[in-house]
Amino acid sequence: MTDLLTSIQAALGLSHTPIPFTGRGALPSAFAVTDLACASIAAAGQAVSELLHQQTGQLPTIEVDRRLASFWFSSSLRPIGWQVPPLWDPIAGDYPTCDGWIRLHTNAPHHRAAAERVLGACADRSAMAAKVAQWTSTELEQAVVDAKGCAAEMRSWAQWQQHPQGLAVNAEQLVHFITNQDEHAKSWQGSVERPLAGIKVLDLTRVLAGPTASRFLAGLGAEVLRIDPPTWNEPGVVPEMTLGKRCARLDLKVAADRAVFESLLKDADILLHGYRADALEHLGFGAERRRQLAPGLIDVCLNAYGWSGPWQNRRGFDSLVQMSSGIAEAGQRWQQADKPTPLPVQALDHATGYLLAASALKLLTERLRSGRGGSARLSLARTAKLLIEYGSGTTQALRVEDEQDHGVSVEQTPWGPAHRLQVPVKISGTPLQWALPATDLGSHQPQW
């Protein structure tokens, strides 16, 4: 366990401080998913502690609960009398090809349309399965990607090690920091209780990893404004992920909305984005332009498959990276199953999310010290390498959840009341608490 935390601390430039993990047991998996949950959450907590140490001279203690960390890597929301919509599109999932397995990711309507452009319209899984079975995995993966869809062939870790993208990701750092020379002198407006009060976070991320980061920052008092395109929706994760945030919509292809976005960016302290590596460039908001608009900006970004190599601009999600990198194949062997066996939770997303938050906090601590902004780049595929190389998981189960694990307050969401689980990290003097309940996308105006 300490090896995993030590690796993360080194990547983030945090001190090698032991952090206690309370409780026993783990999520059953071929890999040490609970250890990854604890270590990534601990690193985010430690980054808060080191920021407070710099500003106040006091170093808060950190403690992480193994059970709660594991549960939060699945979901933190416990609806009262209503249900969160299903996470997956009916067609999404793993299918046998004529020579192996492939995963089709069709949750977004345009991604489903891309798969159906290649395979033909499919009313249900059995119709899809019959068509997929006629393809080789490699050919179908490429055809769906060429159609601007999302798919991943199941590879073993050994195969990924030989693949040009696997080789590229292996050469990357877990967190790639770049310090900028432009300065932005802004004094700390926070407190021990709300360390990020006065900090504006512009969140352009979707689904899980980036929203996990901005949810954590919101829990420390940051003002988070999430921006989505006009038609984007992800109903299965919105109630989980919009806690503490305001959510607006902008179309960055429309001049008036671009002007609004520029004015928001000028006032932002932290920008979080999870577009493909070249997407903001194509919209005219590349790294150089972002720095011009917002000197001293803390610019934290992630993508699926890494920042170098032939797949750096490929669309991807946690479940696809698990297929590509050997996790699902190792799980199948571990469970002696007849099909790909992914991690029990979307651990690459959640872990990378906490590492993104820790990176933002580390860069903010540096900006408060020197006035200089900076950027950090992370990827799901590089987090996968960290987990795979750490070694195998355990079969000692966690004690099941009970009402003691729920927070006392009731969150009034647009869908109905809900509890949140107790927070998995304790930072002495700094309770994670969210001023706003979860809300639907596009429910606010695009303004600070």
Looking at the DSSP assignment, which residues form a beta bridge with residue 273?
204, 301
Amino acid at 100: G
Helix 327-335 and helix 380-390, axial crossing angle in degrees, nearest 10: 40
CA distance 263 to 330: 47
User: Could you tell me the pLDDT band of residue 426, with boundaries at 50, 70 and 90?
Assistant: very high
The structure's pTM equals: 0.98
CB 92 within 8 A of CB 115: no
As beta bridge partners, residue 93 has 104
pLDDT given at position 343: 97
Q: Is residue 344 scored above 60 in pLDDT?
A: yes
Q: How many CA atoms lie within 13 A of 258 on its CB side?
A: 10
Helical H segments across 187-237, by residue range: 209-218
pLDDT digits (tens, 9 = 90+) for 249-276: 999 999 999 999 999 999 999 999 998 8
Q: Which of 343-357, 383-397, 409-423 is predicted with the least confidence, judged by mean pLDDT?
A: 383-397
- pLDDT tier at 2, thresholds 50, 70, 90: low
How far is the C-alpha of 106 from the C-alpha of 116, rounded, in Å? 10
Q: Give residue-wise pLDDT tens across range 34-92.
A: 999 999 999 999 999 999 999 999 999 999 999 999 999 999 999 999 999 998 899 99
With a cut of 70, say whether residue 210 has pLDDT above it: yes
- The per-residue pLDDT for 181 is 82
* Residue 16 tokens, joined: 């090698």
